[in-house]
Amino acid sequence: MNKARHIAIIMDGNGRWAEAQGKKRVKGHEVGADVVKTITTYCSNNPEIERLTLYAFSTENWKRPRLEVEFLMKLLDRYLKKELDVYLKNNVRFEPIGDIRAFSTSLQKTIKHVEEKTAHCDGLVQSLALNYGSHNEILRAVNKLRNCDEDITEQMLSNALDCKHDIDLLIRTGGDKRLSNFLLWQSAYAELFFTDTLWP
Ligand code: FPP
């Protein structure tokens, strides 16, 4: 494999992990958020890794029970507010991908605040995929380019995507062996690694 400069992870298995401990499913998300911190710190200390892109909330996740969605929104807000210092300490730049316009105004504000405050960091780039789905990302990119007079090239489409960087290694935890609408364009040449280990 080429060097794993850009690692993407589908973090799956939070609910099953919690249920196996006799806990509520949302507890799995809470512990899952702690693991996001651990893996980000790990990657930020490894100079070979330039980017870490994590599937935190998909366009399909809105179909989950209302209380679980609300919990995930609050958790994300809390996580970002708390992690800002850790991002700065570890020189990590936060770059969200996905269509965050669907989130509440206050959550959008938190996301943009952390993005702006870490914009000068030149170590690891951590991207959280938020209200993200590849189909939605590609559609938005095509719409951006639709008034273009010339023929659209691969490079033009790639530049119009939220995530403009090819993936070297894509990991999915939780046992399923599929991509679930995550970074389909960017994973064209990625090595895929599936593990039964649950994300927490
Ligand atoms: C699915 O587990 C995982 C998600 C909904 C996305 C990942 C979310 C987190 C790691 C927590 C929040 C992250 C941040 C950054 C605050 P699942 O519930 O589908 O697990 P299951 O397959 O066992 O049901």
What percent of the chain has a predicted confidence (pLDDT) above 70?
100
**pLDDT value of position 8:** 98
**pLDDT value of position 3:** 87
Task: Please determine, for residue 136, whether its predicted confidence score (pLDDT) is greater than 70.
Answer: yes
Number of C-beta neighbours around residue 95 at 10 A: 17
Is the CB of 27 inside a 6 Å radius of any atom of ligand 1? no
pLDDT tens track for 169-185: 999 999 999 999 999 99
Longest dimension (CA), the chain: 59
pTM across the whole model: 0.97
Q: Do residues 188 and 157 lie in contact, with contact meaning Cβ atoms separated by under 8 Å? A: no
Please, which pLDDT band fits residue 57 given cuts at 50, 70 and 90? very high
Tokens representing 77 are 């807000």
Nearest alpha carbon, ligand 1 atom 20: 13
Please give the angle made by the CA atoms of 80, 136 and 12, to the nearest 5 degrees. Answer: 55
Is the CB of 186 inside a 6 Å radius of any atom of ligand 1? no
Q: Do residues 172 and 187 lie in contact, with contact meaning Cβ atoms separated by under 8 Å? A: no
**Residue positions counted in the chain:** 200
**pLDDT value of position 99:** 97
Nearest alpha carbon, ligand 1 atom 12: 33
